[in-house]
Structure formats: structure tokens, C-alpha cells
Amino acid sequence: MGKQTIGLEQNLYDYLLSVSLREPEILTQLRQETAQHPSGRMQISPEQGQFMALLVQLLGAKKTLEVGVFTGYSSLVVALALPPEGKIVACDISEEFTAIARRYWQQAGVTDKIDLHIAPAIETLDQLLAAGEAETFDFAFIDADKSGYDNYYERSLKLVRPGGLIAIDNVLWSGRVADPEDQNSQTKKIRAFNQKLHQDQRISLSLVPIADGLTLAWKRPQSAG
């Protein structure tokens, strides 16, 4: 498997996987199918998926949010980590990508846990807030268009409970965030987003250098109300 966590030598990455990865067969199949897809690099890495499953278990999560489904690896990994009554509200705009996701959710028997909304995520998140679902989610995973990150984050912060966790993907952006020459609009958005979270006192923060960089933002209980 090609190296997917940035900054690790291939042999050390292979070793890490060899002594820690416990990927269910269905996730391996989904990962292999997605790798054939022209946008396959958008898929999260297996060690990141396993890390997120562990976070969901640590939180005792029952209700989670996903912004950006793609072919469903992260939602499937979370669904398998949730208890039988667990629920995921999943947002994506692509019927094509999520058709692959739905096929695997069905095969894994987790379809009943996942409520998929095909619409701009902002609309779905605003509907959840209007429906009185603020502070009812335990966990949120944001992995969609980078220009929308700040909007997704602000809404997710309202939707997760105090003591809930938001995980935001691609915050190291293949290292481009640290290259001052890179003035690409997406790179600039991620830089600004990272700087904002650094100062945000509503959360406790860790930027974990797994895969393409995963920021964990834990909603501080005092920010409730």
C-alpha cells in the first residue's frame, strides 16, 4: 500500500500498518474499489479510519454527523463502531459517489444507521439546527470542499454537545499550508481555518499529523448555553 500518512518513510508506514491495522474485510474491499476511481485519492487512509473508530468508541457516541461522504469509507468505519441504535446524519452532493457508499452500507448491514442527505451540506446542517437538534450530536467529521470548512465547522460546533468532538480532515493539505509560495485559494482557506481554530477558546484542540492532517476540536463544556 502506498504511504498515506505524510512525513512517514514508507518502511515505517508499512510497519505501523503491520502491527496495528485491523481493517474489516468489507472496508478493505471498499478501499480497493475506491482506489480504482479517478478521485480515489479523496478517500481517507485506513489508519485514519481506525483512529476515528476509536474516537467514536471513546466518546460513547450514539449520534454522529458527516460532512462529505464520497464513497463511504469514513461513514462505514464510524457506523461499524457505533452501537446498534447509533445514527449517522451524512451529507454529500454526489449521487454517483454515494451510490458506491450505499452499496457497501447495505452489504455491511448498517444502512439503517445512516441517514443520507443529498444536498449542499449547509442546507442540511441548517435544517438540523432549525429542527432543534443543536447539542445532540456526539461526533462530527468534516471532509468536504475546503472553501466551506468554516461554515461547516461553525454549524457543527452548534450541533455537537458540550464534550462532543469535531474532526476536520486535510488540515495539512499535503504540506502546502507551510509553503509560503502556495497562494492557491484552497490552501489559503485551510491556512485561515487552522489559524482561527488555534485562537478559538470554545474548543480544546489538537492537530494530529495522521494521513493528511486531522484536527480534533473538542467542544468545551463551558461553551454550552
Residues near Ca ion, by CB under 5 A: 143, 169-170
Give first-to-last CA distance, the chain, whole Å. Answer: 46
If the CB atoms of residues 79 and 161 are measured against Ca ion, the closer one turns out to be: 79
Q: Whole-angstrom Cα distance, residue 144 to residue 69?
A: 8
Q: Whole-angstrom Cα distance, residue 201 to residue 198?
A: 8
Ramachandran sector of residue 153 (left: φ over 0; alpha: ψ -120 to 50; beta: rest): alpha
If the CB atoms of residues 59 and 142 are measured against Ca ion, the closer one turns out to be: 142
If the CB atoms of residues 74 and 124 are measured against Ca ion, the closer one turns out to be: 74
If the CB atoms of residues 146 and 161 are measured against Ca ion, the closer one turns out to be: 146
Identify whether the C-beta of residue 184 lies closer than 8 Å to the C-beta of residue 178.
no
In whole angstroms, how close is the CB of 163 to Ca ion at the nearest point?
25
In whole angstroms, how close is the CB of 131 to Ca ion at the nearest point?
28
> Would you state the cell numbers that stand for residue 164, as one nine-digit string?
462532543
If the CB atoms of residues 67 and 114 are measured against Ca ion, the closer one turns out to be: 67
In whole angstroms, how close is the CB of 50 to Ca ion at the nearest point?
16
Helix (H) or strand (E) holding 168: strand 160-169
Residue number, nearest CB to Ca ion: 169
Q: Whole-angstrom Cα distance, residue 61 to residue 54?
A: 10
In whole angstroms, how close is the CB of 161 to Ca ion at the nearest point?
24
Q: Which 3 state secondary structure label does DSSP give 172?
A: coil
In whole angstroms, how close is the CB of 49 to Ca ion at the nearest point?
11
Identify whether the C-beta of residue 117 lies closer than 8 Å to the C-beta of residue 91.
yes
